[in-house]
Structure 1
Amino acid sequence: QSLRSAASICLGAKYPIAIYWGDELTLLYNEAWSVIPGDKHPWALGKPARAVWPDIWDIVGPEFEEALQGRGMWVADRLLPMERRGYLEETYFNYNLSPITAEDGRIEGVFNAGMETTSRVVAARHQRVLIDLIAETASATTVGEAFAGAVEALAGHREVAPFAVLYRLDDGVAHLTGTTGVAAGGEGTGASVRLGVDADPWRIQEAIERRRAAVVEDVGRFAEVHAHEGWPEAAHTAVTLPVVRSRRRKRRVEGVLVVGVPPGLRIDPQHQEFHAALADRFALSVLDARREEEERRMFEIEHRIAETLQQSLIPALPELDHVDLAGCYLPGTEGLEVGGDWYDAIPLPDGSVTLVIGDVVGKGVAAAAQMGQLRNALRAYVLEGFSPGAVLSKLNHLTLSLSGSTFATLLVLRYEPGDHTVQWCRAGHLPALVRRADGTVELLDGDGSPPIGVFEGVTFRESQRRLQPDDVVVLYTDGLVEKPGEDIDVSIDQLAHRVGALPVGAGFLDAIVAPLADTDRRDDVAVLVLST
């Protein structure tokens, strides 16, 4: 009666169910379960369990014994290495084993309901590999780093990729860039492969020319593959994937990714989809890294151009009879872009000298180019005899008329050596400092105005003060005093205190910039010193 009841449930169910009956655990099963034994169906029907499952009996045998003792069980995603299609196959199952009890209480068989989960387990593994590949290559700034990241990602998932060999393509030669899970040396891990000339066991040329995966069998002929822990045999099949940088019609192959296939699995549509996703994901990482390289190369070219342009615009200061001049420019060290800081000193026929210091907002060639325009125009206005305020007014109008221009801060200061007076005008720029002979320091602040290039019709107000013999005037840009999170007025006060404590002389300017000389600087720095 118990057998008829169990068989009725089994045969009527759409879910995979099997019954193991009697002392030999004779196998009975329904149609849904018939796919589980693979090629052993229909032979397995009516055979003893041990004869059907000799390859996994060391795993399931003790579990059947537990069920026959009245202790049912349930397992999830249990690895069962079984031979059901002519090779040792890596399979995973969710299943239960429950005792079948007769009317008199005796256990006469085992009820088995289960479902193969191999596809789901493998899919989860594939997903983890792709996630780790993204993580390991996301920060790559060179193609070499992207290839190294791919090797690192695959090395951590040998259950998916028992081994991997990566080659980078350059002018018809595939250069080995990394391996995992395979011994060095031998034909399969040569340093390079000249396509069409050298032996090509991985079928690299075919994968590149056809722009699709090439399957390589019996890899043990030319490569010593390490067996993965927990599996008795090494991988013997690989897939060579072209790493294609673009999806456009003319697609460039950057290299190839050779990935081993787990020996207990076969290349099916699920694996083909994974391999395609792996190649696409890696190609995107390589593309991003290549863009980083190209952008950095262009950036460095622009930097050199801007630096050369800027240095050409930093003048050699004139030698004057009544004053001493000293200037210094320090480029920023954080990042590659050159800033727009500059200074100038323009002697006039009446014996006076006009000092200029400015900072064009922006970086790179554009800032350096605009700095050159402003410098040349400003020199012309000064030499025409305009006062500091008039110079800035004209320069403001010019800047607003230039296409694509940005704004700039400027300080124009005119010194008359005859009566030691200074006349200045500030357009959004920090105030100059005056160090007196007794060490006291004053700010030449006066009336400030907006930066040039912001508003039309601005009145640039001038200020005037008389200096004493041996006074020193210090003009500077914000890179000398700006500190993250610190109020600019506090920084200026600190600079004034330091300037007042420095001895005046040949090393005065060097001492001012010394704290920044060997440190990382977010911005460039310009300093101009006039000693009366």
Structure 2
Amino acid sequence: MSGMGVEGGSGVGDTAGADVAGVPALVGVGGVVWEPAAGRLCCDPTALAVLGMTREECEEHPESLAARVLAQDMPRLFAEARRVLDRQTDFSLYFRLRHPDDDARWTHAQGRVLRDTDGRVLRVVGVVRDARPDVEARESHAADPTGARHADMVQELTTALTRAATVEEVTEALVRAGLLGPATVKSVAVCCEDHGHVLLLASRGFPAPVVRALRMSRLEDPLPLSEAIRTGRPAFLDDHAALLEGYPQLRRLLPADERVGYAVLPLTAQGRTFGAVGLASEGGGFPPRVRTVLLALSGTIAQSLQRALLYDRTREMAAGLQTSMLPARLPQTPVLTLAARYRPAPFAHEVGGDWYDALPLSGGRTALVIGDVQGHDVHAAAVMGQLRTALRAYLAEGHSARAALSRAGRFLAELGTDRFATCTLAVLDPGADEAEIVRAGHLGPLVRHADGRCAWYPVAGGMPLGIFPGEECPSTRIPFGAGATMVLCTDGLVESRTADIQEGKDALVRVLGAGPVGAGPVGEGALEPLADHLLTAVADPAGNADDIALLVARRAAAPDTD
């Protein structure tokens, strides 16, 4: 609920007269904040109207709200509320509420439960709206077969928007909703205002010329989305001709014979219109009931999009911070080519401690490093940056692989942090057809030899860095001949919530064995495609909760003597 200013710690519940949700009354959606421990319920004016409460009742007698829920709805509502408070984060509830005029009205509430680090409920943040249009549509199913479907789609879309974390997910929810009954959503465009320009965030189904025009449009341009952001007014155009008549500049971008209806919804949160959504439907315009539903949902769409924008921007900043600490370029030699990949964890606020590095050593050797600092936060990333720099310095000074890793462990302990780190250091020596491996609590190397054999080498290892300062890890030498490929990775690539790490390691062996390794000279092989292939074919996006670092090295094949 980032659009409500709650997750950022704005203290919404501290003032009874606070604008709780920042959702304008125009769209009929009101904001509510409930703090169970304090027995405090705060509602904005729209929420008070939806709930049929006065400001005094809300602040001094919040328990009166529960007393007005219809008795037949209480068991279901109580069971659902208990389940949400015990285990869930997001919720979406329908119930009947008796108003002071004795009118029982269907009401819809949705929102999020915010907890402390121990899982205790701090506050419940949500929005409420009059759900009678939903129920009336459902009850009129016999006269209008699309009515019940509208109500179902509203509930499905509301649930999907509550769960959507990114702008792409918000867009997909709108496409999949099928809000238009017999007609279907053909195209969706989602945009926001950006310093006088219209920033296209996502689109589906619109022709390429329209997408290009949207990307280059300004707020003052006479275009539907620009106008909606500028004025804050929705627009419904019953057919293609109406669109072209109102916006003649679109004639050169859209075919003239399409049977399409259009809806343009301004997105308003905290009293400010910051974006707009454009919908195109097959089969003509939008009937009055659908227009009402879309207008009511525009507040929910606005909040979902605002939350998604915050998520995307936070994720981008986290990934940028992490990436800035990794090497900008990898050293390449006439006999050795390298490729690396980094993928952040799938959570916006998390910055990981995974890293990789490579640097040339004397005698034509190359050192490869892969590691992971404990934790997923800015502290882990900072420790990672310091540790990577220290290990790089020890290797550049000419210390052996064992000594360099031992000094790095002592350095980590002396930082005074409570973090430990795992690490594998591989020194590749093409002149000796071998690699020296030193491992500190990390995965060992996976090697594919020129003849196609693939195996994880069971190299000896020591404890993670920082646990026993000064301890030297054992060193193991393994073959690394001409045409061989070595893969070093963090456990995020092969471990997930849905599979055991051994399953992931076995899968990586199979993928490497069949992957596009390449057999030509260095620089002409398929190492970059191989790195992409390993990352996409093995990592499980649904079950992965960790960031991933991957480093791949391939030695040039032996020259053809025939």
Q: TM-score range by the shorter chain?
A: 0.3 to 0.5
* Structure 2 length-normalised TM: 0.45
| TM-score in terms of structure 1 length | 0.47
Q: Which has the larger radius of gyration?
A: 1
